[in-house]
Chains A and B, each alone.
Chain A
Amino acid sequence: MSRLHITKTPKCYVGGAFIRSESGRVTELNDASGAFFANIPQCTRKDLRNAVEAAAKAGPGWAKRSAFNRGQILYRLTEMMEARGVELADSITLSGVSKAEASREVAAAIERVVHYAGWTDKYEQVLGSVNPVASAHFNFTVTEPMGIVGILAPDDAPVLGLLSLILPAITTGNSVVALASTMQPYPSILLGEMLATSDLPGGVVNLLTGVRSELIPTFATHEHLRALSGVANAEERKALRLGAAESVKRVHLRKAEEPIDWFADKMQGAEEIRALVEFKTTWHPVGG
């Protein structure tokens, strides 16, 4: 007897729940052979606004977790990814890349999560400092998370690229609203399902799918976003910088025109973390 063919409705992971766009719009996604694969939600600026609200709710609690606990939770994410690694790799092959290439990306992505899971209780020692001053003060600099970070994922490397941008932000206690690759959105849907089961509090990472040109103006102008990180072309960078200047947010963008080797070691580490923290310097009087 033939079984009923069950097709999946991909949904975005926002605020710890799986949503379709409030607009009800979808984009048809085809697999490598050109056959219909699934309807991907086409999120709107209102979905972005709702995601920011969710991130705002979750952020303070996430930042208050101990550094050690944030590390544990990130490590838990690798366990979830490891278990569904084959499915995740298959989702990357939808775009036509080879199975071997896709598996290599998933393996690198899992290692990247482990990398940042290790950083959670170590970046403060590297980025913070005790500063010499010429008066009777104890002067020290510590980091604080910025708040909500908007992420614009690259079109390629739909898992590794997206995670390489999200991880340094959440390592320090930021929360994130990310727009996944427009060309290859499906892996981000799976990633959302893994995040949901990883002990990461709902709302810390919010993943949207949709059309970049529709959402970039809102990313640029939304006052509640404190920083923008990601990959953008010249025109997008201009729009983002203009909006960011108006709403005073930090911009940390890579050029889409230049090839990016997401596998490289320099795509991870303390400098990526540094780009998305605020520094607070305190003067504390000592002695008499």
Chain B
Amino acid sequence: MPAAVKAPASLRRLFDEIGTVDHVGIEERVVKYTTRSIKKKSKVFGLRLAVSMVDLTTLEGKDTPGKVASLCQKALTPHDTGGIPSTAAVCVYPAMVKHAKKHVAGTKVKVASVATAFPSGQAPLKTRLAEVRAAVNDGADEIDMVINRGAFLSGEFGLMQDEIAAVVEACGVARLKVILEVSELETYHNIRAASFLAMRVIRPNDFIKTSTGKTSSNATLGNNQVMLEAIRDHFLATGVPIAMKPAGGIRTAKQALHFLIAVKETLGDEWLNNRRYRFGASALLNDLVRQLEKERTGAYQAPWNFSEATEGY
């Protein structure tokens, strides 16, 4: 466990409490998830469930109200045939929340907004909190915040947790998703530590989330598994259920099914719904719909039967 030995004293004390991660064990475990045979009825069930868990996301400098409008239509009606469910939410920048809200108000689709100087989080706390309040005022149902990675890596856990707590307060009734940005945490040990620090200050059914999707590496089965096990251990110790959202890099229906298998086998059926598990994705939705149409019609589908991925709008 060399990573933990080199770690600051505060991190070592935390590991004494929560335990560290068996890196090799995790890698071995997640490879098994890709070997399950999911066919026919169970495949359709999994694909429909995955659709209902998507936070359909557009986070680009070139976003416009028009692009957000089509994203919302896509979220409400992913496809014109087959009775495919709507997605869980649309995820946009704070400036786009009021445009998104117009289109999904009164439906099951929520508006999620990244806030707190996404994706770096490098802005004064006051600014970050103001951004959260503005998004909530504009109608955001869910807020995706980034943690202060600098504070975490230098062992200032108090600072990191205080900031999360301040955002929790600023959220009001909106649900919070805490982005750990796993690619910047470097080790599975750190991911577990950050998960626990976040889970201790957020409310039941708030989320922890893997990544922003803006860095080189994103959600993988490995870091998803580390976080799911952290949620499980936290739940067994305290009885507080925390939700989970992997984001970035999940592009195919097959990948999504692998992630769902991980949820099923780690946390059980209680987490197999869009209140406890989400996918942060854009291209994924089209592939899910494509595979569902294949199951419905029996014919392999061409990409032009589905709208372009949201990046293409």
Interface, chain A (partner B; CB < 8 A): 45, 49, 52, 56, 218, 221-224, 243, 246-247
By Cβ-Cβ distance, the 7 closest A-B pairs, closest first, are: A221-B299, A223-B302, A224-B302, A222-B300, A223-B301, A49-B300, A223-B299
Smallest CB separation, B138 vs chain A (Å)? 41
Which A residues are in CB contact (< 8 Å) with B299? 221-223, 243, 246-247
A224 and B303 contact, CB distance less than 8 A: yes
Closest to A246 in B: B299
Complex CA distance for A247 and B301, rounded to whole angstroms: 9
Smallest CB separation, A52 vs chain B (Å)? 7
Closest to A243 in B: B299
Closest to A226 in B: B302
Complex CA distance for A191 and B298, rounded to whole angstroms: 32
Smallest CB separation, B79 vs chain A (Å)? 14
B298 and A221 contact, CB distance less than 8 A: yes
Smallest CB separation, B305 vs chain A (Å)? 7
Complex CA distance for A247 and B305, rounded to whole angstroms: 11
Which B residues are in CB contact (< 8 Å) with A218? 300
Complex CA distance for A267 and B300, rounded to whole angstroms: 32
Q: What 6 additional pairs, Cβ within 8 angstroms, besides A224-B301, A224-B302?
A: A52-B300, A223-B300, A223-B301, A223-B305, A246-B299, A247-B302
Complex CA distance for A221 and B302, rounded to whole angstroms: 11
Which A residues are in CB contact (< 8 Å) with B298? 221
Which A residues are in CB contact (< 8 Å) with B303? 56, 224
Complex CA distance for A247 and B300, rounded to whole angstroms: 10
Closest to B301 in A: A223
Q: Which of B293-312 touch A at CB < 8 Å? A: 298-303, 305
Closest to A52 in B: B300
Closest to B305 in A: A223
Closest to A148 in B: B302
Complex CA distance for A151 and B298, rounded to whole angstroms: 21
Q: Mark B275-307, 1 if CB is under 8 A from A, else 0.
A: 000000000000000000000001111110100
Closest to B298 in A: A221
Smallest CB separation, B224 vs chain A (Å)? 25
Which A residues are in CB contact (< 8 Å) with B301? 223-224
Complex CA distance for A45 and B299, rounded to whole angstroms: 11
Smallest CB separation, A230 vs chain B (Å)? 19
Which A residues are in CB contact (< 8 Å) with B300? 45, 49, 52, 218, 221-224
Smallest CB separation, A5 vs chain B (Å)? 35
Complex CA distance for A247 and B299, rounded to whole angstroms: 9
Smallest CB separation, B128 vs chain A (Å)? 42
Q: Mark B182-204, 1 if CB is under 8 A from A, else 0.
A: 00000000000000000000000
Which A residues are in CB contact (< 8 Å) with B302? 223-224, 247
Smallest CB separation, B107 vs chain A (Å)? 30
